[in-house]
A = this chain, B = another copy of it.
Amino acid sequence: MTPPSDAPGSAEAPVLAVDIGGTKLAAALVGPDGRVTASGRVPTPNEPGVDGEELWRTLEALLGKLVADAGDPPLAGVGVGCGGPMTWPAAEVSPLNIPAWRGFPLRARLRARYPGLPVRIHNDAICVAVGEHWRGAGRGHDDVLGMVVSTGVGGGLILGGRLVNGASGNAGHIGHVIVDPGGPPCACGGRGCLEAVARGPGLVAWAREQGWRRGDGATTGVELAADARGGDPVAVAAMRRAGRALGIAIASATHLCDLQVVAIGGGVSQTGSLLFEPLDEAFDTHARMDFARRVRIVPAALGQTAGLVGAAALVFAQDRYWSAG
């Protein structure tokens, strides 16, 4: 093994990778091979009344402690996945589920905190897709859609081996592909989006309308998925509904982008065949052309670390995943 170099930015130096969500702040040191060598997390201070500076100090403390505990290694850079929307690449962030940050200058703050290092920030779902392409289920393929099906439905698009950013860094919004034009209203203001149908809370709302109740009063997608695995007919029907919507959206995306692999992660996707069987069935109904039928639709491979690994790849594999300044 090559001895570690002391030079900042050397090939052996890890990236400080960060994942910012409404529930937790996670950070890790990720090596050039995609391995996590140290990690930490804290709950996101997200109570009403928390101000943006307090949230920033919590994040700064998490990062400082992680790097210090690892012996202050030289860093190759800082890579961050954060909930959208944000301006991109400037990354003034306004995460929907973190009200304390509205137009918060996250990239500028991190640059000031880590001077001389590249700091790169992208949408959290894009980081998951990048992680799955770099070291996960999409590895070795040039045309990949990575998806996260959870409280929301997000994604990222790699075409011709490179991350697609689109005009404003917003490419990959598979959650707002329309699967049912007359369907339920979506939080985006539209109607019938994949996210409106297939996100966890959307499934729960639908299941409750159909009479789904639990003795323990639980009302989240996790419990709904558990009941589906246990054979509850309404819960199974909710998963079918989600799977069908996913199959339709993936057929549309495959026709438009001629994909090789679609990797699906996130909590809802962990329902396994209860989700993937109706998904495959709907895809099979709607995707009949030879080129589309060659796509492989698979569970994501990296689990919870995908976003951190992808955030690191924004630095390590900038030729593929970072086209901005």
Q: Which residues of A contact B (CB under 8 A)?
A: 85, 141-143, 157, 159-160, 162, 164-181, 186, 188-193, 248, 251-253, 255-260, 282, 285-292, 294-295, 323
Contact = CB atoms under 8 A, between A and B. Distances in A.
A193 to B, nearest CB: 8
B294 A168 contact: yes
Contacts of A192: 286
Nearest to A179: B181
B174 A290 contact: no
B286 A167 contact: no
Contacts of A259: 166-167
Contacts of A159: 159, 164, 166, 171
B258 A191 contact: no
A317 to B, nearest CB: 16
A256 B286 contact: no
29 contacts: A143-B167, A143-B171, A157-B256, A159-B164, A159-B171, A160-B162, A167-B260, A167-B294, A168-B291, A168-B294, A170-B258, A170-B289, A172-B256, A173-B255, A173-B289, A176-B251, A176-B255, A178-B248, A178-B252, A178-B286, A180-B181, A181-B248, A181-B282, A188-B289, A189-B289, A190-B287, A191-B285, A256-B256, A257-B257
Copies per complex? 2
A143 B171 CA distance: 10
Contacts of A282: 181
A177 B258 contact: no
A290 B190 CA distance: 12
Nearest to A168: B291
A237 B289 CA distance: 30
A274 to B, nearest CB: 20
Contact of A171 (B186, B248, B258): B258
A291 B167 contact: yes
Contact of A286 (B169, B181, B286): B181
Contacts of A166: 143, 159, 257-259, 291
A190 B285 contact: yes
A170 B179 CA distance: 22
